[in-house]
């Protein structure tokens, strides 16, 4: 008889404890992010497709066209094209082609770059109608980012 | 041409009660979804209108535009009258409920009996709809509903009987009238009549949850096991009517708990008693009903019956005996 009553009391009490927990959550702020209208900042270690970093002095790219990234890439998705510029000592980057359809985001190119010219972007909103839409010219993208 | 004022009064109350029931059904769905959202730290409906307030309207239009299919093989009569048989008692229950001292459609001397009599027809409608659907899930649901309602009607009515013994009347207005003048006069704190009154309130509330097939006792439409239980075969507004009746029954159940235990339209501090206090208490109880649904998982069927036969019924009988002993002694 004592056990029977004890079970009823402890059972009823546990139900009230449960109600207490849910009402606490009821008054806490919601955690939903209204995605297209609200965007959370990306985490610093997020790996998007690679992009060229901007040289703060010239406003252009920092690439020295050494081709290390192209050699380091295990999937052969990088093509670096440089031109000799009149009067300058070094080659200048004319096109940096990234075939993102093959990229596995391993980051070997970023690691191997001696001039810190490439980094991971935070771009995750990628959508395109064809395969060709994912063959990026990073030089052009850098110039577009200016505006 | 003159119309008898009683006829006008009747019409106004008829329209008012149906409007009240329908509006409550629509906006309790909204409240349920909002509350469920916030308990899970989501937002709930928000796209249709400000705070999603037009969502019930959109849902209603969606349900009404659906085709009313009567599946082949169903019992044509039972299948069609079941939603009506569920809805009518739910509306009828509102007739004797006093919202305030003057706001009552019919102040019957047996108002209490009338409400419980109408409420018990609900299970018959569910049984008919489920049996008529000729669907295995619906039939399982029907068997569960009947045994559940039989099991929970007993402790509920025994508790109500002990209350009737205390108040010497079945007239709901008079029952509230005895509790006026502050919360210490309410039946839930009427320790002079029985020291177990708060327990009696708890029993009544639990039985009300089970009678209206609300979680954690929603055996009738255990959606993860039985699809939609008794309503599986009902399309469009047929389903909608069952849903409206369910919410109307919740409103009636919470109204009865308010009238019997929480002093109806009485203010806890004796300030401005009126219909607003009644609605405040009733909607707080409805909030609690929804809160309970989103807190507890569904019980097993054996757990449900054990709770009734082994705990609620013995305790309600103890309460009955104690109340009668107290009445005799004092």
Whole-number Å distance between alpha carbons of B177 and B265? 9
Spell out which residues of chain B touch residue A30, defining contact as CB-CB under 8 Å: 37-38, 41-43
pLDDT reported for residue B78: 87
How does DSSP classify residue B34?
H
State the nearest Cα–Cα gap between A76 and chain B, in angstroms: 45
pLDDT reported for residue B288: 92
Whole-number Å distance between alpha carbons of B94 and B222? 27
Is A25's CB within 8 Å of B40's CB? Answer: yes
Spell out which residues of chain A touch residue B40, defining contact as CB-CB under 8 Å: 25
Q: Which residue of B has its CA nearest to A15?
A: B296
| CB-defined contacts A:B, below 8 A | 37
B239: left (phi over 0), alpha (psi -120 to 50) or beta: alpha
Whole-number Å distance between alpha carbons of B262 and B193? 15
Spell out which residues of chain B touch residue A23, defining contact as CB-CB under 8 Å: 39, 291
Q: How far is CA B52 from CA B55, B63, B85, B105, B294, in A?
A: 5, 18, 32, 33, 20
Q: Are B316 and B200 in contact (CB under 8 A)?
A: yes
Residue A45 tokens read as: 């270690």
Mean pLDDT over the full length of chain A: 86
Which candidate from A15, A25, A30 shows the least CB-CB separation from B43?
A30
Q: Is the dihedral of CA B114, B119, B120, B126 positive or negative?
A: positive
Which candidate from A8, A22, A32 shows the least CB-CB separation from B295?
A22
B276 touches chain A (CB under 8 A): no
Running along chain B, 330 residues long, what does each successive block of 10 average in pLDDT?
Answer: 80 88 89 90 85 87 86 85 88 86 80 87 86 86 86 90 87 84 78 82 90 80 74 82 88 90 80 82 91 88 87 90 85
Is A30's CB within 8 Å of B41's CB? Answer: yes
Q: Is the pLDDT of residue A147 over 60?
A: no
Q: Are A120 and A110 in contact (CB under 8 A)?
A: yes
Q: Which residue of B has its CA nearest to A14?
A: B296
Q: Are B154 and B116 in contact (CB under 8 A)?
A: no
Is B41's CB within 8 Å of A21's CB? Answer: no
Is A19's CB within 8 Å of B291's CB? Answer: yes
The pTM of the full predicted model, rounded to 2 decimals, is 0.81
Residue B72, classified by CB atoms within 10 Å of its CB into exposed (0-12), middle (13-18) or buried (19+), is exposed
Provide the strand spans (E) within chain A.
50-52, 78-84, 91-99, 118-120, 135-137
Quote the ipTM score. 0.75
Domain around B178 = 5-329
Domains in chain B, number: 1
Mean per-residue pLDDT, A35-41: 84
Is A25's CB within 8 Å of B35's CB? Answer: no
| SS3 category, B107 | coil
Q: Is the pLDDT of residue A146 over 70?
A: no
Residue A59 tokens read as: 């406003």
pLDDT reported for residue B1: 63
B313 touches chain A (CB under 8 A): no
pLDDT reported for residue B190: 77
Q: Which residue of A has its CA nearest to B34?
A: A26
Residues 6+ apart with CB under 8 A from A131: A101
Q: In whole angstroms, what separates CA B194 from the centre of its chain?
A: 25
State the nearest Cα–Cα gap between A47 and chain B, in angstroms: 29
Which candidate from B38, B291, B294 shows the least CB-CB separation from A30?
B38
Q: Is the dihedral of CA B144, B145, B148, B154 positive or negative?
A: negative
Please list the residues that pair with A136 across neighbouring strands.
A98
Whole-number Å distance between alpha carbons of B296 and A21? 11
- The rounded percent of chain A whose pLDDT value lies above 70 is 98
Q: Which residue of A has its CA nearest to B41?
A: A30
pLDDT digits 0-9 by tens, A67-81: 888 889 998 888 888
Is A15's CB within 8 Å of B291's CB? Answer: no
pLDDT digits 0-9 by tens, A83-123: 887 777 777 888 888 888 888 888 898 999 888 888 888 88
Spell out which residues of chain B touch residue A3, defining contact as CB-CB under 8 Å: none
Mean per-residue pLDDT, A39-58: 85
Please list the residues that pair with A143 across neighbouring strands.
none
Residues 6+ apart with CB under 8 A from B270: B181, B182
């Amino acid at each position: 008889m004592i056990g029977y009553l004890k079970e009823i009391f402890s059972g009823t009490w546990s139900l009230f404890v449960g109600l207490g927990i849910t009402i606490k959550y009821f008054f806490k702020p919601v955690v939903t992010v209204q995605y297209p209208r609200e965007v959370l900042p990306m985490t610093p270690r997020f790996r998007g497709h690679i992009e060229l970093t901007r040289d703060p002095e010239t406003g252009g790219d920092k690439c020295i066209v050494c081709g290390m990234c192209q050699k380091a890439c295990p999937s052969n998705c990088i093509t670096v094209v440089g031109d000799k510029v009149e009067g300058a000592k070094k080659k200048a980057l004319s096109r940096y082609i990234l075939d993102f359809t093959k990229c596995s985001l391993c980051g070997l190119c970023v690691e191997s770059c001696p001039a810190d010219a490439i980094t991971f972007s935070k771009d995750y909103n990628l959508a395109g109608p064809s395969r060709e839409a994912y063959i990026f010219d990073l030089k052009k993208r850098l110039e577009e980012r200016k505006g | 041409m003159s119309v008898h004022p009683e006829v006008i009064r009747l019409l106004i109350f008829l329209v008012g009660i149906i409007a009240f029931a329908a509006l409550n059904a629509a906006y309790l769905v909204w409240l349920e979804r909002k509350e469920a959202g916030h308990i899970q730290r989501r937002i709930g409906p928000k796209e249709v209108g400000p705070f999603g307030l037009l969502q019930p309207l959109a849902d209603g239009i969606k349900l009404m535009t659906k085709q009313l299919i009567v599946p082949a093989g169903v019992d044509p009569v039972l299948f069609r009258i079941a939603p009506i048989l569920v809805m009518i008692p739910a509306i009828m229950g509102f007739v004797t409920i006093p919202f305030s001292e003057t706001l009552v459609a019919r102040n019957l001397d047996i108002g209490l009996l009338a409400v419980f009599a109408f409420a018990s027809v609900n299970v018959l409608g569910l049984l008919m709809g489920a049996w008529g659907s000729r669907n295995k899930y619906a039939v399982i649901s029907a068997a569960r509903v009947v045994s559940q309602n039989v099991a929970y009607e007993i402790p509920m009515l025994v508790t109500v009987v002990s209350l009737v013994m205390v108040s010497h009347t079945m007239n709901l207005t008079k029952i509230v009238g005895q509790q006026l003048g502050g919360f210490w006069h309410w039946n839930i704190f009427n320790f002079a009549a029985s020291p177990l009154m708060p327990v009696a309130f708890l029993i009544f509330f639990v039985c009300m949850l089970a009678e209206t097939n609300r979680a954690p006792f929603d055996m009738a439409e255990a959606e993860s096991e039985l699809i939609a239980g008794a309503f599986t075969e009902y399309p469009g507004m047929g389903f909608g009517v069952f849903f409206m009746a369910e919410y109307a029954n919740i409103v009636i159940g919470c109204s009865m708990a308010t009238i019997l235990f929480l002093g109806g339209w009485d203010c806890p501090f004796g300030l401005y008693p009126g219909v607003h206090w009644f609605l405040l208490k009733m909607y707080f109880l409805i909030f609690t009903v929804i809160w309970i649904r989103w807190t507890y998982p569904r019980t097993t069927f054996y757990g449900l019956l054990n709770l009734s036969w082994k705990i609620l019924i013995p305790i309600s009988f103890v309460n009955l005996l104690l109340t009668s002993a107290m009445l005799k002694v004092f």
